[in-house]
Structure 1
Amino acid sequence: MAVESAVTNGPADRTDRTERTDGTDRTRRGDGPADKTVTMREAVAAYVHDGDTVSLEGFTHLIPTAAGHEIIRQGRRDLTVVRMTADIVVDQMLAAGCVARLVSSFVGNSSAGSLGELRRRVEHADPEPLAFEEYSHYGMICRYIAGAQRLPFYPLRSYGGSDLPGVNPALRKVTSPYPGPDGESEEIYVVPPVNPDVTFVHAQRADRSGNTQVWGLTGVQAEAVYAARKAVVVVEEVVEDEVVRSDPNRTLIPAHAVDAVVVCPRGAHPSFAQGYYDRDNAFYRSWSAISKDKERLTAWLAEWVHGTADHAEYVAKLGEEFWEGLAVGEAMSRPVNYGRRL
């Protein structure tokens, strides 16, 4: 695969996190926390613009599919999409004409097949080529960490002996300023930071000010949020502050890093939300055939994305019987004693 490098860099501006999408101030009123809840339509309209770099993170679990669909509905163009595991939602955004560049460490249909649109773009430049910037999983993690910490680069050893530096000029070697045990300064690979214009992540719950809780499989959601200029958290439900304070160790992302909270039940489908609904394996298995056929893919987008006003309509269209089939049981965690309220 040919790889073109256009490194996303520069300091992220977090100074205007109090500017609400409707133009009002969302800072604290009295003694209460800020209310950052907005609709998905408002969040995308406010924070995603043509030409932006957009991160969509969630590793197998809690994939922000509904956010991707709303970006499609609003017709965004020329986006650079950053996602460690580029899967179905990226294929859909490509087919809808939203994506000009992809930055990733894996592309595929998550153990169930292939991504037809992405393969057409990369293998045949059909209907046009895709600029693709490829890293390893750990390389992507390091880019997010560097972006979150505002570092100029991040060192790692894992590219020694790899072919990736030969196709990605952003992977470079530097000489360590510190000599090793043998007195010699070694050369080591580094990756550049990534600072998305906006990061979208999905989570189980948050309070209205954005304290976001996740359990089950996590990826690089926190790092992607801290690296971004703006951050939107999409959740299954909003809970009261007391719920978050009663179990603070589940808080993966604190409120001060969040610009907007979108309540979007079942918004990670076809991936899963631990404790809320299961993975739709049948959909994953069906996607290879859908995406392989251009007409079928166009028809699917017309019916399920452009043909629905929002994700609530998408959910309703699938029907309650369908959702009952993805229902989860109960596997409760043991309570812990914090000793005092935190």
Structure 2
Amino acid sequence: MAQFLPLSRAVADNLNSGDTVAFEGFTHLIPTAAAHEAIRQGFKDLTLVRMTPDLIYDQMIGMGMAKKAIFSYAGNPGVGLLRRLRDAVENGFPHALEIEEHSHAAMANAYEAGAAGLPCAIFRGYRGAELTKVNPNIRSVTCPFSGEVLAAVPSVRPDVTFIHAQKANRRGDVLVEGIIGIQKEAALAARRAVVTVEEVVDNFDDLHPNLTVLPRWSVTAISVVPGGAHPSYAHGYYVRDNASYLEWDEISADRDRFREWMQTNVIEKTSDDFAARVEHLRIVA
């Protein structure tokens, strides 16, 4: 059952060095505040899993926290490269990073298989794809009923998944509006699920019950962090901070500038600082 905890405690209680961890969000509701708290606490040797790694994984990799990344498309959305990830892969800085690249379809199916407790995901995909030549975890099986050759990948079962959402009620049920992405499956596939939310409300009586994406029994901890998805957006709360994504391309291109920015904007900050960052981006009803 979900516990309401300060973010620092929720991260400390549920993430360990050496864990396989997913910080999931698709286009919006990216759990930036949770990732920054993990950076402040200095975890090491993490296997980072995510369908679409962007700035937070670039930051975690650049800070030397990751030994491996399992992902589909990785990039700075609408801008270009993840420069810290590329530096780790090409130059081993700050240390070597193992990568396991998949398609979006493979990642989505792998999470769903993990949520179902299955050892692998089987789906139609990778026909003619070059990824099969560089990723030994992309294999094939023959359907025993039709004889069709299908793709197979290992299921994803993180030790812990972090997501951001709009609301939780006081019982610990979590509501997500807008693009869902793969957050639900990533949380259900994990041994522990930590959710940061914009706010806590008494109930969801005025909303459609299907918006309760994660019932309280599936959530380990909830932390209230207004603005916790910045610079991504939170549907209904604040818009995307496009300037921050453009700025990151320049910051991350230089190792020294990257470390200085991380010290000033992550290490020396707390989760309470996120609310101020989105004030000029808030949607006025």
Which bin holds the TM-score, normalised by the shorter protein? over 0.9
Provide Cα deviations, 1:302-339, integer angstroms capped at 9, x if missing partner: 0011111x1113544x4xxxx44312133xxxxxxxxx
* Residues 73 and 189 of structure 1, relative CA distance in 2, 3 Å threshold: same
Per-residue Cα deviation, 1:225-276 (whole angstroms, up to 9, x for no partner): 11000001110001113x3575312111111111111100000000010111
Residue identity (%): 47
Aligned match of 2:30:
63
- CA distance in structure 2 between the aligned counterparts of 1:186 and 1:250, rounded to whole angstroms: 37
* Alignment partner, residue 200 of structure 2: 238
1:266 is aligned, of 218, 227, 230, to 227
Structure-2 residue corresponding to 1:141: 108
Moved more, 153-162 or 228-237: 153-162
In the other structure, the counterpart of 1:161 is: 128
- Find the partner of 2:217 among 248, 256, 268: 256
Aligned equivalent of 1:98: 65
For residue 267 of structure 2, give the secondary structure of its aligned residue in structure 1. coil
Where does 1:180-199 land on structure 2 (aligned, <5 Å)? 180=146, 185-199=147-161
User: Which residue pairs with 2:256 in the alignment?
Assistant: 295
- Residue 77 of structure 1 corresponds to 44
Q: Please give the residue correspondences for 1:115-134 in structure 2 after superposition, counting only pairs within 5 Å.
A: 115-134=82-101
After TM superposition, the score normalised by the length of structure 2 is 0.96
Note the alpha carbon deviations across 1:204-233, whole angstroms, 9 max, x for none: 001133211111111001100110000011
Q: Which amino acid aligns with 2:222?
A: V
Give the Cα–Cα distance (whole angstroms) in 1 for the partners of residues 122 and 275 of structure 2. Answer: 43
**Structure 2: 5+ residue stretches without partners:** none
* Aligned match for 2:280, one of 319, 325, 334: 325
The secondary structure found in structure 1 opposite 2:217 is helix
Distance 1:250 1:195 in 2: 24
Aligned CA distance change for structure 1 residues 162 and 314 (closer, same or farther; 3 Å): same
In structure 2, the residue matched to 1:202 is: 164
* Aligned counterpart, 1:312: 272
> Per the alignment, in what secondary structure is the counterpart of residue 85 of structure 1?
coil
Q: 1:183-202 CA distances to partner (integer Å, 9 max, x unpaired)?
A: xx232211111110000110
Please tell me whether Structure 1 or Structure 2 has the larger radius of gyration of its CA atoms. 1
SS at match of 2:47: strand
Shift of 1:154: 1.6
Scaled by the length of structure 1, the TM-score of the pair is 0.80
Give the letter for the 1:285 counterpart.
L
Q: Aligned-residue CA RMSD in angstroms?
A: 1.4
> Which consecutive residues of structure 1, in runs of 5 or more, have no partner in the other structure?
1-17, 19-34, 331-342
Contact 1:208/1:261 (<8 A) preserved: no
Work out the number of aligned pairs and report it.
285
